[in-house]
Amino acid sequence: MLVGVVGLAIGYLAMVRPRLLRWGATDAEVDRPFPGADIIPGAIRSATMATTIEAPPRVVWPWLVQMGHDRAGWYSWDRLDNFGRGSADRVHPEWQELSTGDRMTAKPDGSQWWDVVALEPEQFLCLRMSLDLQGRPFDPAGARPRWFTDSTWGFHLVPIPGDRTRLVVSGYWLLRPAWLQPILSAVVLEPSHWVMQTRQFTVLERHIEGR
Query: 99-128: per-residue pLDDT in tens?
Result: 999 999 999 999 999 999 999 999 999 999
Residue type, position 177, single letter: P
CA nearest neighbour of 130 among 152, 155, 158, 146:
152
- Please name each of the domains of the chain with its CATH number: 2-209 (3.30.530.20)
Integer Cα distance of 113 and 74 in angstroms:
13
Integer Cα distance of 156 and 158 in angstroms:
6
Comparison of pLDDT for 9 and 77, the residue scoring more: 77
Q: Do 199 and 73 contact (CB within 8 A), yes or no? A: no
pLDDT at residue number 171: 98
Is pLDDT of 10 > 80?
no
CA nearest neighbour of 149 among 162, 135, 163, 159:
135
CB neighbours of 180 closer than 8 A, spacing ≥ 6?
none
pLDDT at residue number 45: 97
